[in-house]
Each structure stands twice: as structure tokens, then as C-alpha cells.
Amino acid sequence: MSFEDDREEAMDSFNDMSPAELEELLHVEPEFDPEHQIEMLREEVESLAYDADVLDDGATFEVVEKALLHPDPLWEEDTVWWFEYDGDEGFAVRDPEGTVRGEVEGEDAFDQFGEIASEYHREEQIRRFKARVKAGRADEGEMCLLPNGKLELTEDGMVAVFDPQRELAEVAHIDDPLDEIVVGVIDDWKQQMRAKYAGTPMEEHWD
């Protein structure tokens, strides 16, 4: 049987399924569903922000970001954040090492947290990538997946920097300030998107 025959047989089997069978086939358990995990995290952060006016100054809360949401799909550890109430409707956000990464408050708390988490994961991913390369544990083509974009080790030992659409944007040396370079690439890409969608409702999305 040829590949085309196999494909047609698979499509026929798929088309013969009932709605219930299709739903069962496509069902993803909540613990393995990134969208579900994001919504759970959003609900947790927004609930804290909503209840801020009844909290005690200095009250601290653990917020767990599931490993499923990590930029590296093979990552297995949850990321534990700490939200410390500042007594004025805002929270200082501490990363797993205890460093204050920023503050969140109000109805935009989750978006603000998203930026904080993205920055943390970007820095940590780059740090681990640099360590592997310098220790000689990275081969040509080794990738470092980031919240926006990626890095890739080239044949000549340089680092290819890709924008959020995974288009090659720059080539750098492993000792260059890769985090700053990545941030610059992201900013340039956002500027291109703003120009592309200028005058449309999408323009504000790239602010």
C-alpha cells in the first residue's frame, strides 16, 4: 500500500467518526492543555489583584507557573513565584531565587506578570545556553527556545538570533550580551509590526 493509500484510508476513518468520537479523539486533559493552564494562572493572579484591598501589608502568596508553560517543551519543573502585597493594592513579584522582578496591580496584573515571567525565562534560558556552549556540551544546531524567538548554535560556533516569527535577525558571538541583543531584536520586530498594522485596530497590540 502506498503513502497516498494510507493517507486516504486514514482520512476516510476520520470522516466516518461521530461527533462524540471526534471529541474524544481531540480531548486533552486539563493538566496537559496549555490554554487551560494559562487561564488557571490568569484566574489566580487576577483574584489576588481583586482582593488586594482586604489583604494585610506584607502578605505573601505562592503562585505556581506549571512546567507546561515553560518555553522549553522538555522542561519538567514548575516555576514558583511569590507575590508580596505592598499595602497599596500592588504586589512585588519575586522569582524562584527571591529576586524582586517587578510589580503588578489592578486589572492589568496578569499582563504585567506575563512580561515579568517572560523576562525571567528569557534570561534563564540564555544563561543555561551560554553555560552549555562554553562547557563544550552544545553541538552545531543546538537551540535555545525563548518566550519570543530562539537562539541556535551555528556551524562556526556563532549564535544565530531569531525574532518571534523565527526569522533570522542577527548573528552574535557567545560572549556578546545576548540578552540585550534578543531584546533589541524583539523591539525591532514589534516596531515592524506596528508599522505594518498602522491605522488598524491591531496597531495598539504592538505597543
pLDDT digits (tens, 9 = 90+) for 114-157: 999 999 999 999 999 999 999 999 999 999 999 999 999 999 99
Residues 129 and 188 in one domain: no
120 and 181 both lie in a single domain? no
Q: Which of 3-17, 21-35, 147-161, 186-200 has the highest mean pLDDT?
A: 147-161
Domain membership of residue 58 (yes or no) is yes
- Are 50 and 121 part of one and the same domain? yes
Is 1 part of a structural domain of the chain? no
Instruction: Please give the pLDDT value at position 162.
Output: 98
Please count the structural domains in the chain: 2
**pLDDT at 65 > cutoff 50:** yes
Look at residue 24 in the predicted model and tell me its pLDDT: 57
Q: What is the pLDDT of residue 1?
A: 45
pLDDT band (50, 70, 90) for residue 10:
very low
Q: Are residues 162 and 110 in the same domain?
A: no
Look at residues 111, 135, 159 and tell me which one is the last residue of a structural domain. Answer: 135
Q: How far is CA 75 from CA 71, 145, 169, 193, in A?
A: 8, 11, 26, 30
When pLDDT is averaged across residues 19-30 and rounded to a whole number, the result is 58
**52 — pLDDT class (breaks 50, 70, 90):** confident
Residues 43 and 130 in one domain: yes
**Where does the pLDDT of residue 206 fall: very low under 50, low under 70, confident under 90, or very high at 90 and above?**
confident
Task: Look up the domain containing 95 and give its range.
Answer: 30-135
Decide if 22 is inside a domain: no
Q: What is the mean pLDDT of residues 75-99?
A: 95
Is residue 121 located within the same domain as residue 150? Answer: no
